Amino acid sequence: AQRVTQPEKLLSVFKGAPVELKCNYSYSGSPELFWYVQYSRQRLQLLLRHISRESIKGFTADLNKGETSFHLKKPFAQEEDSAMYYCALMMDRRQGAQKLVFGQGTRLTINP
Amino acid sequence: NAGVMQNPRHLVRRRGQEARLRCSPMKGHSHVYWYRQLPEEGLKFMVYLQKENIIDESGMPKERFSAEFPKEGPSILRIQQVVRGDSAAYFCASSPRAPGVQETQYFGPGTRLLVL
């Protein structure tokens, strides 16, 4: 069965330090991976997707099919990065499945 | 564009009552998804609807839960005879078209249901 695992519920780093939020997935088909972010008192919003291979707010994530991972990274953390981060998997669209499978989330706290 | 709207934002019900959660998708969006987030867990897919059609309800509990997305008006998630285990945050998301490459789901603020 498809599954997304975020092993860290809480992650705390100092401002300016590198950040890596881990995400591993389990899916036999061709997945699409996403990172969503929820800032305090705001709604869940898309941060980035692996298809776009883009960098948003300094964050990048590379899909590693061999390790079935999609870790989120940022070289220098900023205080405004403090938020809840969710990794999500969308199953192969060709099979008609549109739902997102979410990890449990990682609460990132950036200390000044 | 006001974004995806959900109401109420907070709902308190006693065991055995009915809960109705509403979701108005973004303007121009005709696809709606409902997710449930239990305490300390991630969001879990419940149902995917298009106008007047349920496309995928594989995440919906078989009893007491139903969803609709009528031609006019918001999508409604209905929970009959609520139990304490239904206490959760219920999120709605919408997307603009039949999903394809670059489709994005836009999320509402959620409805927090508390069953006493």
The model's pLDDT over A8-44, given as tens digits with 9 standing for 90+, comes to 999 999 999 999 999 999 988 778 899 999 999 889 9
Tokens representing residue A70 in the block: 């999609």
User: Which pLDDT score, from 0 to 100, does residue B51 have?
Assistant: 87
User: Which pLDDT score, from 0 to 100, does residue B39 have?
Assistant: 83
Say yes or no for a CB contact (<8 Å) between B33 and A45: no
Say yes or no for a CB contact (<8 Å) between A43 and B108: yes
When pLDDT is cut at 50, 70 and 90, the band that residue B99 belongs to is low
Distance CA A106, CA A38 (A): 10
Q: What is the pLDDT of residues B21-68, one digit of tens each?
A: 999 999 888 889 999 999 878 899 999 998 889 988 989 999 999 999
Distance CA A78, CA A111 (A): 9
Sign of torsion over alpha carbons A82, B42, B75, B13:
negative
Say yes or no for a CB contact (<8 Å) between B91 and A99: no
Q: Give the count of beta carbons closer than 10 Å to the beta carbon of residue A89.
A: 21
User: Which pLDDT score, from 0 to 100, does residue A90 have?
Assistant: 86
Searching chain A, which residue's CA lies closest to the CA of residue B93? Answer: A44
Task: Report the share of chain A in percent with pLDDT over 70.
Answer: 95
Q: Give the count of beta carbons closer than 10 Å to the beta carbon of residue A96.
A: 11
Interface test with A, best of B58, B101, B107 (most A CBs within 10 A): B107
pLDDT at residue B12 tops 80: yes
Q: Is the peptide bond before B8 cis (omega within 30 degrees of 0)?
A: yes
Q: What is the pLDDT of residues A39-52, one digit of tens each?
A: 998 899 999 988 77
Say yes or no for a CB contact (<8 Å) between B99 and A98: yes
Q: Which of A44, A52, A97 sits opposite B91 (nearest CB)?
A: A44
User: Which pLDDT score, from 0 to 100, does residue B100 have?
Assistant: 57
| β-pairing verdict for A106-111 and A83-90 | antiparallel
| Interface list for B 36-65 with A (CB within 8 A) | 40-45, 48, 55-56, 58-59
Tell me, what DSSP letter sits at residue B85? G
pLDDT at residue A78 tops 80: yes
Considering only CB atoms, which chain A residues are within 8 Å of B103? 98
SS (H, E, C) chain B: CCCCEEECCEEEECCCCCEEEEEECCCCCCEEEEEEECCCCCEEEEEEEECCEEEECCCCCCCCEEEECCCCCCEEEEECCCCHHHCEEEEEEEECCCCCCCCCCEECCCEEEEEC
